[in-house]
Chain A
């Protein structure tokens, strides 16, 4: 580890912290329907959308209507994208003349982009036409992120409201998130990225002859416009197969910095929006702090592990002064690669600027654990907030009993119904991750996709299902996932991870909204202090740790221990 590396990490964290409040305030005003700078130029557009769709923006929905609207919207999105992928060969903006995707790949990809996972079983520059990238993938980068923001707001309204029957209007949240938040920031970010050298064109690929006389095809296209929202919406689906490690998708250190900043921007801001909505910004900072602790511990571990270099090379007497550089871009180095890897897996982004498969076992453990904890360390836009709020309910329930009162969080008593729904949501993680990994580790179709044997091969499968279920989308590489088996099972894992979590979460929102508010007293456990932060971190780590310990032990841990004894897989 170097001082320089740490300074970069700390500058990143300081800037993020500084931006949290302004972003949170902006989001609060947008979703509260207050006048903002953009109301004048865009307000007519917002109202126009409502008029076209026949939506009364003043009418709010119950949790059931909100959820049904969200599910219906997502179903339509899925079908549209699925058909678009199958019809790719007949559609415009296809200079390379790419044909239709196989049905299983189209199924997987459509789910992947609708669920904000952006798992890619395909290589972008060899599969997708410009038309598909723009009309299909980029559109869903926006709306799946907007959906996440809406859902988080709905849950927060559940906490903030008293004896209420409604938790907002899905169509209004969706429109406002896209129009006032995602689009404007993406446009500015895209322009910045173009300035940094990112392509933004519709030209056919350039064929070049290298100095060695080898023919090379240089892929390009409308990259910047997709990358901006890919990061801001924590989608992570790369334009190119190499994702943010590709020089066109991440040309400079500055573009790298902007991209990782965009990943956490909205999730961090939402913690503040949450605080404002429940009328105590400290509540938001408490969540922010818990997330930050987990984030910084992850970065430190990953950075440390990668800086040590490959233990096997060390035992061979080879010194690795700059750490383990396998699978990393020299223009980013160990610090920025591990920082990127931690951030992209903390948030359910999944873009990568280095190959996680090539990390040392302990370094690769960090991204995996980040996802197993349920993507609550800032997490996906919206998804991170509603995820950590459910963990907070569990933490407060267990600890709240220890102060001798019916546990309450933000003035809402946590009772059997909330616990039941929360457990239901949290249970889908182990069900999907461990279930699918167990199935694929004994089926020939599963084993066929592995690039490595032993614990490393196991990690590849475990990582894939973890990434899909957590709606992260990053890959451990190595795994050949574009097979019917993996496309279908990973697709189902993504659906479970997204919607099987969301439905009980929304039911919790409805139950909370209907509750009375209990004013805090000296007997109420304060959820703004260090004790709460420690408790929340502890519960997240222990619940996640206990669930996945056997699997982790058989993957990265055993591999790490084996490498120490000179055995590699």
Chain B
């Protein structure tokens, strides 16, 4: 169902070179200041560098060692910048392909709404409320709403879907997107987004990370990391006094090395890359989020409201059976049903014709030659049908046909079997459609809702994630219950009106739950706005698209499930790397503390569990490990920790084992290996 665009390779040459350049550009203090942990790292690196320069001209000792530590300190900062740059670079690559479509177009703005005379205005100067004329072959100059006309539009630029779509004024398919091309006909479009804030613009700035705001959880995590860093400020700043007490001294460079290895640089460095990558993953799924906050909220969703039609069931109900009244043959009913449906272009109507042909070999007949008059469905009669050769055939909902037949045939014209059969069909999840000829009820067409294949498994998956699914349908409760059971949703809302949807969301929210829903129509807009995560369909109205905080370009309502997964993955990746980062500190202490006090308390070498060669090699190994681990974890940050739809307990146990225990053990091995390497080369 989902059309996932190919992700660029993790380390594409074309991405790496500019990312390296950007890593240096990002040394700008204003950029660094956005990330507290890395900012502190840069600050102490600068301090160490200044002292080093001072030492060169003074009576500096161990200059080679100091120089190496300082180089790795700066690498730590650069690697962090690189991680962010590469995530942004991947986004930019995505954005570039989007931008190709955003060529400068000239819009034909109507001079006055009534007239057809236009003046040419560059698309970049369009204002909200301008009405533009778009002809066959023109690019639509900006996001807007069709106020007049019907057109086929090629939206492949944003959806990747090559088949053109129909857009028309009024109704639920009136929104058009800037950068898409009109293939036929002429439309008048009222511009709804100013230049620079159109859909495409927003999409580009989102994937590039330019308009990225920190999400609530990211802010909280940043505070935690800053707090941890402060703890390590106290831990390291108190060491010189302790050393003085013990009758020795510790060089600043060693203190700086200890401090930088202790503060959570790993997660600090990768935090923004994780956020940008999450957004990119979403865009690759063809979902456009208006903010990172919405993506994060998706991970927290407790309740998912899904429209039945098109999401849980195939959009169209299909005729599955002709159920006859006493004294009527099936062929007779099939004949009448087919005749009444020949001009009915709805999918349901066509399926009746198909069933009649398959089961009774009734071929299509030319209504015109039969001198028939087709009666279309109206909201007043709630029936459709045909008058042909004096036969008056009507089909419609049970109660409308009952009322119709009783009106012309009297109270007892309707056989009691009608209600029985109708109830049986409804209980099975179908929709009964009665057929009558004159005052005689012939029988019932069983319109069956077809539940999408595989949807049941997906709902089971959601249940394991702890998400409740609620099906929204206009059907009566009986039908709704049957389909709900077949599809495996947790709950349903039957005979739902748009305001019921809103009320349900409010009720769930009042219980403290986060609600996600998707919708397309204008009457969905209030509910989309109320929901914590509202995914609007690209095919929907502008009102719906404005109200939601995400837009699905594929208009696939089941995409919500992917969105939830991406939101969870985002949080998990942050948590996993934070745990890893903090757990790493244990090994770093065991590397640096004995080395630091080697001159004062040689006994502490018992804590040198890794048997690192010399105090200097120990310190250098720790700082090198600390820098390299950032690079090593970039792929994980970009890809995200794999999310498995299991309960929270097993999920946490697994992640704690991998990232907690792994984080304890990995640096012991890594630092030892680096120590072996640098001792072998003889760097210190």
Contacts and interface: CB of A to CB of B under 8 A. Distances in A.
Interface in B464-480: 464-468
Given A419-B220, A522-B466, A554-B246, A427 B231 contact: yes
B651 A441 contact: no
Q: Which of B242, B579, B659, B660 has the most C-beta atoms of chain A within 10 angstroms of its own C-beta?
A: B242
B571 A404 contact: yes
Interface string A402-446: 111110000100111011100110110011001101110110000
A551 B586 contact: no
Given A430-B231, A546-B586, A435 B238 contact: yes
B57 interface: no
A517 B512 contact: yes
Interface in A453-472: 454-455, 458
Interface in A383-398: 394, 397-398
Interface of B is mostly: helix
A543 B245 CA distance: 26
Interface stretch (A11-19, A251-259, A523-531): A523-531
A51 interface: no
A546 B589 contact: yes
Nearest to B572: A404
Interface in A512-565: 516-519, 521-526, 529, 531, 535, 538, 542-543, 545-551, 553-554, 557-558, 561-562, 564-565
Contacts of A522: 463-466, 647-648
A404 B299 contact: yes
Given A401-B574, A406-B217, A434 B652 contact: no
B299 A406 contact: yes
A442 B247 CA distance: 10
Contacts of A545: 586
B244 A442 contact: yes
B168 interface: no
B466 A523 contact: yes
A562 B241 CA distance: 21
A438 B236 CA distance: 11
Contact of A531 (B230, B299, B300, B653): B653
B439 interface: no
A562 B603 CA distance: 6
Contact of A519 (B224, B242, B511, B603): B511
A296 interface: no
B300 A405 contact: yes
B532 to A, nearest CB: 11
B466 to A, nearest CB: 3
Given A401-B572, A565-B603, A523 B245 contact: no
A558 B597 CA distance: 10
A450 to B, nearest CB: 10
Contact of B597 (A416, A516, A547, A553): A553
A379 interface: no
Nearest to B660: A538
- Centre residue among B219, B245, B568, B572 by max chain A CB count within 10 A: B245
B633 interface: no
Contacts of B296: 406
A403 B648 contact: yes
A269 interface: no
**Residue with the highest number of chain B CB atoms closer than 10 Å, among A398, A400, A561, A565:** A398
B239 interface: yes
B227 A426 contact: yes
B652 A531 contact: yes
Q: Contact size class for B?
A: 35 or more
A26 B569 CA distance: 45
Interface string B629-653: 0000000000001010001110111
B541 interface: no
A398 B593 contact: no
Contacts of B575: 398-403
Contact of B651 (A403, A427, A535, A564): A403
A404 B220 contact: no
Given A526-B649, A554-B246, A406 B571 contact: yes
Nearest to A562: B603
B655 interface: yes
A525 B299 contact: no
Given A404-B299, A547-B234, A551-B238, A542 B513 contact: no
A374 to B, nearest CB: 12
Given A398-B575, A404-B299, A558-B601, A550 B593 contact: yes
A447 B245 CA distance: 9
A544 to B, nearest CB: 10
A454 B248 CA distance: 12
Most chain A beta-carbon neighbours within 10 Å: one of B567, B569, B606: B606
B271 to A, nearest CB: 12
A545 to B, nearest CB: 8
Contact of A458 (B224, B245, B643): B245
A441 B244 contact: yes
Contacts of B652: 399, 402-403, 525, 531, 535
Given A402-B656, A523-B467, A549 B578 contact: no
Interface in B235-262: 235-242, 244-246, 262
A553 to B, nearest CB: 5
Given A430-B234, A430-B235, A554 B512 contact: no
Contacts of A454: 246
B463 A435 contact: no
A394 B242 contact: no
A430 B246 CA distance: 20
A524 B466 contact: yes
A8 B402 CA distance: 86
A546 B585 contact: yes
A193 to B, nearest CB: 42
B221 interface: yes
B579 A434 contact: no
Contacts of B241: 437-439, 441-442
Interface string A362-385: 000000000000000000000000
A276 to B, nearest CB: 21
A564 B651 CA distance: 45
Contact of A542 (B569, B582, B604): B582
Given A430-B234, A542-B582, A546-B235, A525 B512 contact: no
Contacts of A397: 220, 224
Nearest to B467: A523
Contacts of A431: 234
Interface string B648-684: 1101110110011000000000000000000000000
B238 A437 contact: yes
Contacts of A526: 648-649
B656 A535 contact: yes
Nearest to A432: B234
Interface in B563-620: 567-569, 571-572, 574-576, 578-579, 582-583, 585-586, 589, 593, 597, 601, 603-604, 606-607
B302 to A, nearest CB: 6
Contact of A434 (B226, B227, B235): B235
B503 interface: no
Contacts of B649: 525-526, 529, 531
B223 interface: yes
A438 B237 CA distance: 9
A367 B404 CA distance: 90
Contacts of A162: 512
B149 interface: no
Given A416-B220, A522-B465, 8 more contacts: A402-B659, A403-B652, A405-B300, A437-B242, A447-B245, A523-B467, A542-B583, A550-B239
Which 6 A-B pairs rank lowest in CB-CB distance, beginning with the nearest?
A: A523-B466, A401-B575, A404-B568, A423-B227, A522-B466, A521-B466
22 contacts: A398-B575, A403-B655, A405-B299, A405-B648, A423-B223, A427-B231, A430-B231, A437-B242, A438-B241, A438-B242, A441-B244, A519-B513, A522-B463, A523-B466, A523-B647, A531-B649, A535-B656, A546-B235, A547-B231, A550-B236, A553-B597, A553-B607
